[in-house]
Amino acid sequence: MKKFAAFLSVCFLFTVFAVVPASAVMDIKLAHVVNENDAFHVCALKFKELVEAGSNGELTVTIYPNAKLGDERNLLESMRMGVVDSSIVTGGPIINFMPKFGVFDLPFLFSTPEHAYKVLDGEIGRQMLEDMDNLGWKGLAYGERGFRNLTNSKKPVVVPEDMKGLKIRLMQNPVYVDSFRALGANAVPMAWTEALTALQQGTIDGQENPLNVIVSFNLFESQKHLAITRHAYAPNVIIMSKKTWQKLSPEQQKLVQESAQAAAEHNRAYDNEKEGEWLQLLKDKGMEVTMPDTALFREAVKPVYEKYEAQFGKELVEAILAVK
């Protein structure tokens, strides 16, 4: 009898431990397309740290850098299907699914980082994140790619005329393409993974990105000239698949939301702290740096505003410009 009772006890314990704990842990796959030296990875690590620390072991985050799960457009599509749980993406590819998001890519729209943060963290930015619900995404927070600058292997750029004929890689983003065509460049939209090879082989002359990207991908090896144009401010967006979001409890959703915002702010602070250091490093690596008069560039891209104000709404553009 005692043996039978012991057998029942073992069976009971086995049943309890076989059913309960395995389903309690959920791993969130978080992907981005850049390397581990990039600010996107800094953002991803902070998100992982906060989610795991606050979830009592219920949530883990596995980071997939270097486009291991696809380029940014593929990541956006994969999140809609629930194949990828979350990603940090630049705003550019989002336009292909959500054209209105392109308003943030208008050239010289944001005057300072603080201006951008007020817009993105305020009513305009929050509404944009909410609108992602209809596309199968949960928009969580805006981190930072930063103010973008121009590099090339051919010549210094000081005035818009210097850009004529330069083959410049851009994100697959119609606002960027139209902006660079207005400046006289030969705009070449392509995925970042392809662009790195094209720069090394010299099939394109240059690209545009924030200083962090220029440093983390050693672009000074193929690009001699850097123009501090600050022609566009690019947020990144921390996004989760709606399918994954709906699997989370309300408490987990709150944790993920708060962790994303904190990671985004950590990303911004990192960029602001490092910008001077990155610029000095690029000079030390032999890049010739010019500081163009952006007034001439602003004048050259006026037709871009005229075209896209009709698409985005003049009121929205004016509302962004009016934020102080």
pLDDT in tens, 114-161: 999 999 999 999 999 999 999 999 999 999 989 999 999 999 999 999
Taking the C-alpha atoms of residue 37 and residue 273, their distance in angstroms, rounded to an integer, is: 15
pTM, two decimals, is: 0.84
Q: How is residue 157 written in tokens?
A: 């750029």
Q: Evaluate if residue 22 carries a pLDDT over 70.
A: no
Judged by DSSP in three states, 239 sits in strand
Sign of CA dihedral 244, 250, 255, 257: positive
Listed residue (61, 123, 25) closest to 320, CA to CA: 123
DSSP 3-state assignment of 111?
A: coil
* Whether CATH 3.40.190.170 fits 24-322: yes
- C-alpha–C-alpha distance, residues 301 and 125, integer Å: 24
**DSSP symbol at 45:** H
| Contact (Cβ atoms closer than 8 angstroms) between residue 312 and residue 320 | no
Provide the residue type at 91 as one letter. G
**Confidence bin at 15 (pLDDT 50/70/90):** very low
Q: For residue 64, give the nearest of 54, 74, 50 by alpha carbon.
A: 74
Check: CB of residue 105 under 8 Å from CB of residue 178: no
Handedness of CA 207, 212, 213, 214 (dihedral sign): positive
Taking a C-beta distance cutoff of 8 angstroms, is the pair 323, 115 a contact? Answer: yes
232 contacts 148 by C-beta, under 8 angstroms: yes
Q: Residue 193's pLDDT band (boundaries 50, 70, 90)?
A: confident
The pLDDT of residue 279 is above 50: yes
Domain assignments of the chain as residue spans, ordered by start: 24-322
Higher pLDDT, 6 or 258: 258
Give the model's confidence band at 171: pLDDT under 50 very low, under 70 low, under 90 confident, else very high: confident
**Structure tokens that stand for 223 in this block:** 């690009």
* Mean residue pLDDT across the chain: 91
Identify whether the C-beta of residue 93 lies closer than 8 Å to the C-beta of residue 74. Answer: no
